[in-house]
């Protein structure tokens, strides 16, 4: 038991000694200096408190976007092109992330979605033998417009599709036309035998 008491007294005297106190002060000051230097370094390397407001890039061409973002020291990436929107110029920005008005740091990438140059092409289906209503519904569901310029042909089936036209020319199934193209129906008049 006396060895334990002597060890405890020796430890207590070491804690009270100037050497121990000096080492504790050096350790605390070192930690504080390290934390201060780390915060300063992170502030400098991460551009802390340095913000750039993202401009509105909607309807801008890629050349204009590149010039505008280079002035602000920002980068951009084209991630996609959306469905064609006739309200936007061809190859212009439809969407951006982050949004206009958001604050970002320099060198931040702005992700852009562009407007294609036209509607995408869709294959004309084979609607021969279908009713007018079925054909109209099907054409609209895949993105075409159905014209009012109906051509009637002598046929036993009344309002049965016997062909399709675009710009006055007969078109074959499988032909590719841009979405939103107007297609006129060729229908049977019901007077055939």
Mean confidence (pLDDT) of the chain: 87
pLDDT value of position 142: 93
Closest CA to 114 of 89, 137, 80: 80
- 2-55, pLDDT tens digit by residue? 676 777 677 777 777 888 888 889 999 999 999 999 988 877 776 556 788 899
**What are the structure tokens assigned to 29, written together?**
């000051």
Q: Do 51-115 and 121-188 come out as alike in CATH topology?
A: yes
Closest CA to 190 of 149, 148, 164, 159: 159
- 85-112, pLDDT tens digit by residue? 888 888 889 889 889 888 888 888 999 9
- 145-175, pLDDT tens digit by residue? 999 999 999 999 899 999 999 999 999 999 9
| pTM tops 0.75 | no
51-115 has CATH 3.30.10.20 classification = yes
Closest CA to 186 of 161, 167, 166, 169: 161
**Fold assignment, 121-188:** Trypsin Inhibitor V; Chain A (3.30.10)
Judge contact between 44 and 76, C-beta under 8 A. no
Write down the domain spans for the chain: 11-46, 51-115, 121-188
């Amino acid at each position: 038991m006396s060895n334990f008491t002597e060890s405890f007294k020796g430890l207590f005297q070491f804690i009270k000694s100037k050497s121990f106190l000096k080492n504790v002060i050096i350790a605390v000051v070192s930690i504080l200096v390290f934390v201060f230097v780390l915060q300063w370094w992170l502030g400098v390397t991460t551009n802390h408190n340095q913000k750039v407001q993202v401009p509105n890039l909607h309807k801008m061409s890629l050349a204009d976007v590149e010039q505008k973002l280079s002035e602000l020291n920002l980068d951009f990436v084209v991630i996609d092109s959306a469905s064609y929107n006739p309200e936007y110029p061809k190859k212009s920005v439809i969407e951006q992330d982050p949004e206009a008005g958001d604050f970002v740091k320099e060198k931040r990438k702005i992700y852009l979605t562009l407007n294609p140059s036209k509607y995408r092409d869709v294959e004309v289906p084979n609607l021969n033998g279908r009713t007018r209503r079925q054909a109209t519904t099907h054409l609209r569901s895949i993105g075409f417009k159905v014209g009012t310029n109906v051509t009637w042909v002598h046929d036993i089936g009344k309002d049965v599709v016997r062909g399709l036209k675009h710009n006055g020319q007969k078109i074959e199934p499988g032909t590719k036309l841009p979405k939103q193209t107007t297609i006129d129906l060729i229908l049977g008049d019901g007077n055939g035998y």
